[in-house]
């Protein structure tokens, strides 16, 4: 079965400043090994990508060193709000952090958020890390200032229901969910310890069920929120939140399709059509992926390419395997190996 080259609209490639966790070479190889040929990477790096100068340097490096297409989000900080109009001419989207997360970028308070939202043009999306009541604040921003608000990694029933209501009223909001919030619960978090800790945290079963109830309607895309940390960092006394996801996302969804929980057509919409439309991403000529939807195996079926080297899904039974990736006319992945690596 063929799919278009998939798009992961939410990854952390850790460049610049976190290259011991992941770099452009390993991160983009993990993308290809997971069926993704386009990545949108987050700006909470060291330094963060909040000025045009820093963003440009990082984008040029990403273009030169990656094995697939990588587009960088611009980051928002109130100190550098004057940079936003210039950043908006180049970046496909702006990332704003309202709630606690890994890294230095966080906008404090609704007044600062309103200033940032208005400084960004109406035609490009603002990707919002908003949890709980902050989702209502994001919806208010979309309504008050007619800005396109994209909610990242929505994980709770109350959140997805608010977004469904906002969409029903015609507000310009979209949202994504992650595979870990679809395929793991609070119970798994106990078992996994630090390897199951991320923001937002894993949720109770009823929240997971609510996400699945909206999988064919409210949810626009699935994004991995690939957030690698080394095993020694995860084993430390103060482990950072975040888990890798580039290589497990497609197998998990193919497995769900083999069980009749989602259609293959819907996977294509969630991982290609919708993110491409939301972020206005270029078409990739002569690019597609091939999967054997019947292959059954224990994950991972090949050594992981992500530099962190682990996955919260290790040992899981999967049905559906990526067999080939053709990227701009060349075979770049075949039988568990990234050929361009
Ligand atoms: Zn993230």
Query: Could you tell me which of 270, 291, 268, 269 has the C-alpha nearest to residue 224?
Result: 270
Largest Cα–Cα separation, the chain: 52
How far apart, in whole angstroms, are the C-alpha atoms of residue 297 and residue 318? 6
C-alpha 307 to ligand 1 mean position (Å): 17
User: pLDDT, tens digit, for every residue of 38-83?
Assistant: 999 999 999 999 999 999 999 999 999 999 999 999 999 999 999 9
User: pLDDT, tens digit, for every residue of 107-116?
Assistant: 888 999 999 9
User: pLDDT, tens digit, for every residue of 170-217?
Assistant: 999 999 999 999 999 999 999 999 999 999 999 999 999 999 999 999
C-alpha 97 to ligand 1 mean position (Å): 9
C-alpha 96 to ligand 1 mean position (Å): 11
Q: What is the pLDDT of residue 106?
A: 82
How far apart, in whole angstroms, are the C-alpha atoms of residue 250 and residue 256? 10
Query: Could you tell me which of 219, 203, 209, 112 has the C-alpha nearest to residue 160?
Result: 219
C-alpha 43 to ligand 1 mean position (Å): 9
C-alpha 64 to ligand 1 mean position (Å): 23
C-alpha 295 to ligand 1 mean position (Å): 31
Average pLDDT over residues 311-323: 98
């Amino acid at each position: 079965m063929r799919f278009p080259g998939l798009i992961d609209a939410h990854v952390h490639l850790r460049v610049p400043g976190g290259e011991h966790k992941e770099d452009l070479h390993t991160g983009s190889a993990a993308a290809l090994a997971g069926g993704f040929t386009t990545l949108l990477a987050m700006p909470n790096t060291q330094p963060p990508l909040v000025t045009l100068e820093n963003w440009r340097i990082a984008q040029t490096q990403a273009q030169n060193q990656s094995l697939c297409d990588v587009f960088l989000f611009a980051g928002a900080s109130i100190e550098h709000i004057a940079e936003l109009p210039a950043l908006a001419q180049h970046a496909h989207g702006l990332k704003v952090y309202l709630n606690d997360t890994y890294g230095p970028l966080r906008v404090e308070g609704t007044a600062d958020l309103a200033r940032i939202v208005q400084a960004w043009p109406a035609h490009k999306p603002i990707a919002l890390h908003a949890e709980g009541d902050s989702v209502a604040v994001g919806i208010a921003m979309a309504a008050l200032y007619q800005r396109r608000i994209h909610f990242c990694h929505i994980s709770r029933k109350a959140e997805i229901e608010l977004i469904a209501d906002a969409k029903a009223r015609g507000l310009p909001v979209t949202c994504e969910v992650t595979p870990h919030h679809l395929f793991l619960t609070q119970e798994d978090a106990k078992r996994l310890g630090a390897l199951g800790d991320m923001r937002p945290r894993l949720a109770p079963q009823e929240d997971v069920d609510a996400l699945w109830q909206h999988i064919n309607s409210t949810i626009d895309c699935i994004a991995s929120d690939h957030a690698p940390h080394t095993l020694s960092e995860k084993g430390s006394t103060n482990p950072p939140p975040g888990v890798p996801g580039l290589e497990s996302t497609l197998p998990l969804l193919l497995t769900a399709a083999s069980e009749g929980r989602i259609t293959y057509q819907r996977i294509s919409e969630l991982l290609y059509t919708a993110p491409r439309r939301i972020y206005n991403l270029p078409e990739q000529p002569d690019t597609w992926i091939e999967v054997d939807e019947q292959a059954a195996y224990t994950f991972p079926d090949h050594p992981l390419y992500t530099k962190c080297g682990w996955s919260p899904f290790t040992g899981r039974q999967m049905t559906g395997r990526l067999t080939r990736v053709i990227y701009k006319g060349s075979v770049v992945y075949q039988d568990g190996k990234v050929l361009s690596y």
